[in-house]
Amino acid sequence: MSNATVELLRQRLAVLQPQSIAIEDESHRHAGHAGAKDGGHYQLDIVAAAFAGKNTVARHRLIYDAAGDLMRGRIHALSIRALAPDEV
Superfamily of domain 2-87: BolA-like (3.30.300.90)
Q: How far apart are CA 34 and CA 17, in angstroms?
A: 34
pLDDT for residue 65: 97
Is residue 33 over pLDDT 70?
no
- Compute the distance between CA of residue 61 and CA of residue 87 in angstroms, rounded to an integer: 19
- pTM score: 0.86
Question: Residue 42: in which H helix or E strand, if any?
Answer: strand 40-47
Segment 36-86, tens digit of pLDDT: 556 788 999 999 999 999 999 999 999 999 999 999 888 989 999 999 999
